[in-house]
Amino acid sequence: MTPDPGRFITDPMPRLGPTLAQAVLRRRSAKRLPDPDRLAASDQAVDPERLWRYQQLCGSPTSDLVPSTYPHLMAFPLMMARFARPDFPFPVLGLVHLHNRLQQHRPIRSSERLDFAVRLADRREHPAGELIDLITEASSGAESVWQETSSYLHRSGKSSASHQKPEPVAATIGWDVPADLGRRYAAISGDRNPIHLYRLTARPFGFRRPIAHGMWLLARTLAAFEGRMPAAFELTAQFQAPVSLPTRVLLRSDRPIGQWDFSVHDARTGKPHLTGTINGD
């Protein structure tokens, strides 16, 4: 893979606390797509205690295989460091994670040490504001093993809610999502966005109750496919309506040739929270 042009800045993995504070407090003035700096951190070990806690919370089997969403958690401080740079054009608080594309080239074992790189791309208009992509890559030695493109929405006064109508759900599985889920996931991931923590901290951002992290919902959904997914696959996911805590959700899946289609809905109203497709051989 030929890297995009731009500076390649290699540093140790940033400390998450100071980086989050810097990202939140940084004033924004950029009017164009930021310069294509690639921030990198090398030789990152998987913390076995943290991995176990993540597997327990997300419903994944306890094993030495890293869940396909776990590299996102490992790279999160680097992602925040990219958001904290002066040329990032949007406030971090209030960004909405709308889409996710994940490519796992092969399974990753917990004994491996990973190199990470992040970069921004494709700032564009959206009916509710502007979108920008954050691309994260993970390598083991010289081998690319994982890549993710996360699309974030900066809202500009219009609603970003899905207009998809609720529908009856024929569930294959369902699970309860507790009131403290946001705080429990934040303790593992380090993502302490106030919209996920308490009613009082979520309300200033337009939420009557705290909402679940989108990456937890995606990880919990993929755990339901454990043992049925190929070793290498590509996932595309769209985050629809937020999951207000506490609640119960239902997962529906279909198996067209060569792929899985899935959707997660509110158990009471049928409102869609997450839709996506898993493709692989």
Contact predicate 104/146, CB 8 Å? yes
Using CA atoms, how far residue 64 sits from 60, 67, 73, 104, 163, in Å, is 11, 9, 16, 16, 40
Tokens of 124: 């564009």
Tokens of 245: 């805590």
What pLDDT is recorded for position 8?
64
Q: Cα(78)–Cα(251) distance, rounded to whole angstroms?
A: 32
Helix/strand/coil (H, E, C) string of 9-77? EECCCCCHHHHHHHHHHCCCCCCCCCCCCEEEEEEEECCHHHHHHHHHHHCCCCCCECCCCHHHHHHHH
What pLDDT is recorded for position 12?
72
- The crossing angle, in degrees rounded to 10, of helices 70-84 and 214-223 is 160
In sign, the C-alpha dihedral spanning 217, 219, 223, 227 is positive
Tell me whether the CATH fold assigned to 1-160 matches the one assigned to 162-281: yes
| 209: nearest Cα among 235, 232, 183 | 183
What pLDDT is recorded for position 160?
44
For every one of its 281 residues, what pLDDT tens digit does the chain have, with 9 covering 90 and above? 444 545 666 667 877 777 766 666 665 555 666 666 789 999 999 999 999 999 999 999 999 999 999 999 999 999 989 988 888 888 887 788 999 999 999 999 999 999 999 999 989 999 988 999 999 999 999 999 999 999 999 888 655 444 455 655 555 789 999 999 999 999 999 998 899 999 999 999 889 999 999 999 999 999 999 888 889 999 999 999 999 999 999 999 988 777 899 999 999 999 999 999 999 86
Taking domain 1-160, whether its CATH number is 3.40.50.620 is answered by no
Domain extent listing, the chain: 1-160, 162-281
The secondary structure element, H or E, covering residue 134 is: strand 129-140
134-165 in b/e form (b: 16+ CB < 10 A) is bbbbbbbeeeebbbbbbbbbbbeeeebebeee
Q: Which conformational region is residue 59 in: left (phi greater than 0), alpha (psi within -120 to 50 degrees), or beta?
A: left
217-241 in b/e form (b: 16+ CB < 10 A) is bbbbbbbbbeeeeeeebbbbbbbbb
Listed as own residue / partner, the contacts of 132-135 with beta carbons closer than 8 Å and 24 or more positions apart are 132/33, 132/89, 132/90, 134/79, 134/82, 134/83
- In degrees and rounded to multiples of 5, residue 111 shows phi and psi of -80, -10
What pLDDT is recorded for position 25?
65
What pLDDT is recorded for position 34?
67
List, for residues 50-106, the tens digit of each pLDDT value.
999 999 999 999 999 999 999 999 999 999 899 888 888 888 877 889 999 999 999
Taking domain 162-281, whether its CATH number is 3.10.129.10 is answered by yes
Q: Cα(211)–Cα(199) distance, rounded to whole angstroms?
A: 9
What pLDDT is recorded for position 161?
47
